[in-house]
Structure 1
Amino acid sequence: MAFRVMMIRFGVLLAGLLARASLANVQAQTTPELLTRNRPPLVVGAYAQGSFIVAHTPAVKHLAVSHPTGVEVNLQRQTNGAAPWHAWYRYPKVGLALVYYDYHNPVLGQSYAASVYINKSFWRTQRQEVSFRIGTGVGYFPVRFDQAVNHKNVIISSRLNATIQTRIEYDVALSEQLGLLLGIGLNHYSNGATTKPNFGINLPTVLLGLNYHQQRPLRPLATPPAPAPTDLGRNFLNLSTSLGWKQRNETDPRHYLVNSVTLAVGRRVNRKSNLIAGLEGFYDRSLQAQLRDTARTNEQLPDVKKAGAYVGHELLFGRLAFVSHLGFYLYNPYKSNSFYYERLGLKYHFTERIFGNIDLKVHRGAADVIEWRLGVKL
């Protein structure tokens, strides 16, 4: 479970950044060191994938017996310095991938996924390149858990799931524009505990395929980073509220509302980082149902509301930020979970003042709820 949620962290929180980067209208800055065209060059790929299912908990051992196979097609573009964060992160590639898997098991069926990703080269010559890729998106499973007809599928309980992909890739030139790609990676699918059971599926993967390079070889951009942001060293206040829904367990089909309010103070400490600390209150209505199931009729029930304090960091990519928090409950009459919590997510500023988040709140490595947040910066 901890491993599964660790993979959710890497992705539930990069989706907005990568989607914006991959779909943005990138206006090329013609730079002789990198570009010979008006737009940054493209790379188009098609790969075959072979995998196996990790039995990360005893509950899924009966499903970890097949060897899924899949195919992927993708399109990626080289960043070129049109946005300041391109230079801060040394000009990675951003891309869009479509992935199909056949699990060769009627209990699991097939899956279809679309994801956006960032691909960072860390070794490159004229003919070879080694890079690290991480991405996230949405996966669709036509076959899912059903208590009446498919109760063995404890891995996937909803048709829509988050997907997270990480991999190491090695590309070697076969010709001026065609490259052979070899890779090893990990694909993960889960719904973040929105619907249960939710053990998720982890797929260690070997890849083999071809890349078509519109322009190769490429040399690093010589453009220096943009000037320091105008808000560097300034303090700010954030006031926000969030909503989420969660299922208590597979025997209770209802989805319960979870909401919170947060007041935080932060400071921009450099180009890439904000430091932040805050106070917040939570109201999880699924805990009321849980109490009613276990309490005696004449027993006074404890308050299910909670309050906490947290410290955190925001990794900045223009208007987007990768958010990580560590919090501790200060008011917690009903001890339904650990005394601390973690939160990871994506934050996007719609305007200078208004922002939104998609966050995953976690207790001891187990997903608690996906929070949809709206706030104002003061």
Structure 2
Amino acid sequence: MAQTTTTPPKTSLFFTPEIIVGKTQEANTDFPKTKLQKNVFLSIGQYNYNSNKEWAARLNYPKTGISLGYTDFGNSTKVGHAYSILPFIEFSILKKQLNGLNLQIGFGSSYMDTQYDIITNAFNRAITTKINWSFRSFFYYDVFKTHATDWRFGLGYLHHSNGHTNLPNQGLNSFTASVSAKIDKNSNSNNDFKKPTFASKSQTYMAFRLGLGQNVLSEKFNTKKEVFTVSASAGKILNNTFKFGGGFYYRFYEHYYDYIKNNEALIEEQFPHFKDNPYGYATSFGIFASSELLIDHIGFEFDLGLNIHKPFYKIDWQLNQGFTYENANGETIEVLGELDWYYEIKRTISARMGLKYYLWTTNKAPKHNIFLGAHINANLGQADFTELSCGYVYRFNLKEKSI
């Protein structure tokens, strides 16, 4: 029987070459026809069996790493290829019921070599920018193992879109299957690691954030302009791993302000009073609840909020949910989006998801910390703007009790 130890294994790295096939879903009506989608990924990861990593122990020692990928969407001329880089985290799930089942989630960026063009590629309304957000979610099952290799079968979902920095932005979605081999000659040494015991603890925190975002207003107003944001929040950090809180945000949309100042059509026809205070009507503020997973220097964050004030969204919705057509006389007719119940939900609910990089590792629970962030902000599930941010976190005294 192997002797248990709290000393980490000699090496914690593994490599996973992976072949993925699937189908690129149609992003819009008359989307270009695609053949079988083909992907090649190489993942470089590490185990986190370390007695000093509390977050790893709390999460039952997930694997982390980075995936590099090439995607052929099945139509080289009209849809093209993607070159992706995605940090990932992988959890063992249902271990007692189905040993060998894992869930991997990756979030990063991709370079796309083919975009929408109104003249040469008008029916691919999925991608309009070279640089895009990328997301992948896969279930893996270890089919069989050798001394150095775990052979795996996977089922998953891939997504690419630009976060509303150019329109159209329908995004590319794919459902896929994969075969991969996780290669690690020293993986068996992980079985000798004995989990350390950590005391249960919590800390109160306060945080402040400044952000600079970019978006476009509509296909007609399709030039990127800035969104300026500021927020303050407070809450609890549990066991130095799970961060929960709430706060207040304020945003100023340059596109909204310019539309009002230029007295565009809907201002003149429906909202002339916006001209009395263009700055105020170009702003948004609200409250939000925040959740974050702290992993050393990295934070995975998801926020859900309520817009208390976002008056210009009435115009935003009408422009983006409407359409144009030519009548029998050859005149272009514009039909505005209807302010229905779905509009009310989208106007009210905001969401925010992304990554943070902390200057000092969160594993040591520093009283002061500074972070940089990259996030997608959304109206419910529809992208609103892409944001880069920086912020400061202050932790109050630690409260600890034995378990």
Query: The residue matched to 1:154 in structure 2 has which SS?
Result: coil
Distance 1:180 1:334, change over 3 A: closer
**Kindly, what percent of the aligned residue pairs are identical?**
20
Runs of 4 or more consecutive aligned structure 1 residues displaced over 6 Å after TM superposition: none
Q: 1:257 pairs with 221, 226, 229, which one?
A: 226
Q: 1:314 pairs with 288, 292, 295, which one?
A: 292
Distance 1:173 1:53, change over 3 A: same
For residues 91-144 of structure 1, the C-alpha deviation after alignment (integer angstroms, 9 at most, x for no partner) is 11122222212223110112211222112223669xx72211111222111111
Q: 2:183 pairs with 204, 209, 212, which one?
A: 212
Structure 1 CA distance, aligned partners of 2:245 and 2:219? 37
Query: The residue matched to 1:296 in structure 2 has which SS?
Result: helix
Quick one: higher RCO (CA 8 Å, sep 6+), 1 or 2?
A: 1
Q: Which runs of 5+ in 2 are unaligned?
A: 276-280, 315-345, 361-367, 395-403
Structure 1 residue 227: deviation in Å? 4.4
Query: The residue matched to 1:301 in structure 2 has which SS?
Result: helix
Distance 1:124 1:348, change over 3 A: same
State the one-letter code of the partner of 1:86: A
Q: Superposition pairs for residues 239-278 of structure 1, below 5 Å?
A: 239-278=208-247
Q: Superposition pairs for residues 22-33 of structure 1, below 5 Å?
A: 32=4
Q: 1:104 pairs with 69, 74, 78, which one?
A: 74
Structure 2 CA distance, aligned partners of 1:214 and 1:115? 24
Q: Superposition pairs for residues 1-378 of structure 1, below 5 Å?
A: 32=4, 38-40=10-12, 42-55=13-26, 59-60=28-29, 62-63=31-32, 65-81=34-50, 82-105=52-75, 106-122=77-93, 129-173=100-144, 175-217=146-188, 218-219=190-191, 221-228=193-200, 232-234=202-204, 236-291=205-260, 292-296=264-268, 299-301=272-274, 303-336=281-314, 338-351=347-360, 352-378=368-394
Contact 2:292 2:301 in 1 (8 A): yes
Give the superposed CA RMSD.
2.8
Distance 1:376 1:35, change over 3 A: closer
Structure 2 CA distance, aligned partners of 1:210 and 1:377? 40
Structure 1 residue 328: deviation in Å? 2.0
Query: The residue matched to 1:219 in structure 2 has which SS?
Result: helix
Distance 1:111 1:353, change over 3 A: closer
Structure 1 CA distance, aligned partners of 2:238 and 2:10? 35
Query: The residue matched to 1:288 in structure 2 has which SS?
Result: helix
Structure 1 residue 89: deviation in Å? 1.0
Structure 1 residue 154: deviation in Å? 0.7
Q: Which runs of 5+ in 1 are unaligned?
A: 1-30
Count of residue pairs the alignment pairs up:
340
State the one-letter code of the partner of 2:382: A
User: What's the TM-score once normalised by structure 1's chain length?
Assistant: 0.80
